Structure 1
């Protein structure tokens, strides 16, 4: 008898039995019961679950590897720790002449107090299925831990090749860990027993929220790594590291940059105006107007930077006129005017009556009191101080930097 158990035998439990079964693994199922399952681990640390692994060792025989497990009885019966300290070989009956069948391999606990079997022990057993056109595995007996389903085809026997071990095994093993431990998921995914319970799904750490297993980053507000970037967001405001290395925030309908911007637009095409009131169109510039849209950040404030190279030329025959070229930005939100253009907010290039070369001017201004998440449009406006002066603007640009 290789499979050893504790607190089953009425007499004769050895110290060795007790030592082998000091498991301490009780993954809760409910307030009274725990999950039946196998303690995880392997000799070299490469595998999550090696205990009670089964493989074909002869035509009709298989070997069940050593391991430790828990078998939960009915509520009043408690949980039975079992240990298989050495591998055990089991032999399957020959296949039916006409139909295939599905057998069930279990770790079964016999407890005479509850089953009147006259036995108090644990065994690795085969529960033989019923042959049929569409065979199914038999039900798991009481106080048993299902390990494998084995398909035994019609006519299978030691004399004609036996069981095809490469295709006939269905692994039913599931792991258990100590209370509060992180459960490595193998086999079926079972519901959690309490909010805050953790499990490792193999690709992500998950937390039970009371109704579902939620990826750990979304459960606790952490940043989802780009290795798990295909996970569905769980709530508005969740963050993730995108594949491109950009921090993103879930808006409720889409992933958007967590810190949008900077936003930028420019025109390297020169154009001029002689208008003394602000206009958006420059003569000889191919593309008008110069605009930029941006989304207001949660801080409701941005830094607006704009500028241009300004040159001023007098009309032919005109002398002695001091002149100035102004560039300013109008701010709108849809059809609503947020900030109008005015000279006090403009950048300007000036020259006296004597001609001078053009030069570049720029300014940075703070826009605050915006509506977070709203889209704003910036439009560049230009004017000259005199209708006899061509105010030229070249290398114009607009830039917006959201503030944290």
Structure 2
């Protein structure tokens, strides 16, 4: 058949792989895997030996793009070249560092900026020192497993690094930089991760509120991490530190809205609709979404000055504040909640809604969860009927024990 967008899309998977060849361009074909994956390829003969050149996966390239590339390959063969052998030599020469550069340049524009930055940060720090200079095709599962084990004290980070590496190798195989199926990260067993469920209690929320009020008014005592003669800030006195309202209000908005950190720090005034009570976020972790504003959040935004395009501006008003690490570490220490992360404010927002009996569907909608399974972590807080049943059973059992006790005394 002629390999076109319609004909390729209609090809079904079968038991075992099969090939379909184009009836117009000799040597141009498509391989269909049992999984349904479809890959364009070009076959030719060089010195009596059949060669095969992988053009790319359907979905990454179109049939017309693959046909154009196949014509180039067949033309090169006619002039005495051997493109498949040239690619093999090129594969042997490419280092993982170069491969990662290609990945960022060619695939990076398709990623969210935050995802691209996280990939780059994690792989540059943890993988490139170990495998950056190795030939990409020669990297083994053992090489990646050493990186994984080196981060055993941070299992979540270790697993993310291996996942990121797996994404790079998968992309490289799909785009012809490595042989298909070459993904040494695929079989690495991940560390078990402990799910973290940290919610602030009423007492902790009260302490946090006091710390925030002190931070923006009279100030809170400076805490020096290092001590001794080598300390960068050896305390000759104990001055109080104040933070601008933009910092304390950012922390309050994280709690009152349940938004993620970057959603608040990158928030622009044009995305705030106080009249209707919404934040219209153009790009969140789950895509475009609207965030319902409660009266507490609206009050904060009403009282915030509009001195920048951003609700939480940085030192340069043309840019948003980069992070809240230093003030949050200081404020949470004063509040006595050193183990609480900024993301735990989002969990606290959700836990209060779940415990109030609003239901997991409503809580998930408020948080912008794309999957109901994500909201299931709050199920134990939302089981109001289950709690009522437990209380009823406990009361009945307590009554039975009490009655039995009275009977024992009367019989004595």
TM class, shorter-length:
under 0.3
Query: TM-score under structure 1 normalisation?
Result: 0.21
CA radius of gyration, larger in: 1
- The structure with higher relative contact order (CA 8 Å, sep 6+) is 1
Bigger fraction of residues in strand: 1
